[in-house]
Amino acid sequence: MNLYWMNLSRFTTLLIILNISLFFLTELVTRHGYFYTYFSLAALLVVEFGLLVPVGLAHKLWYYAFYLCWEGVALYFLISSVWYWVKVNGM
């Protein structure tokens, strides 16, 4: 279980850095008013909060699966943001 939590933590951190570097440093969010990146960062914040708060549920599979689903939601919004970025810049 510890291996799963470590990998989830690393992947979440990687997605946060990727999200910020792709969309906020390139000013795509501020120029085009695209909000899916905010949704992605909010979902990643929920996952990070669940990883950082020390509760006794960390060894339960449903607790891990809950935050893994939130990671999937964040990944969906990140992929949608990349898709939108390619579509807008391709015009």
Give 26-40 pLDDT, tens digit per residue: 676 667 667 888 899
What digits encode the pLDDT tens for the residues 9-60? Answer: 898 988 888 888 877 776 766 676 678 888 999 999 999 998 888 778 878 8
DSSP state string for 51-82: HHS--GGGG-HHHHHHHHHHHHHHHHHHHHHH
% of the chain beyond a pLDDT of 70 = 87
Structure tokens at 72: 């999937």
pLDDT at 91 over 60: no
Per-residue pLDDT, averaged over 72-86, amounts to: 88
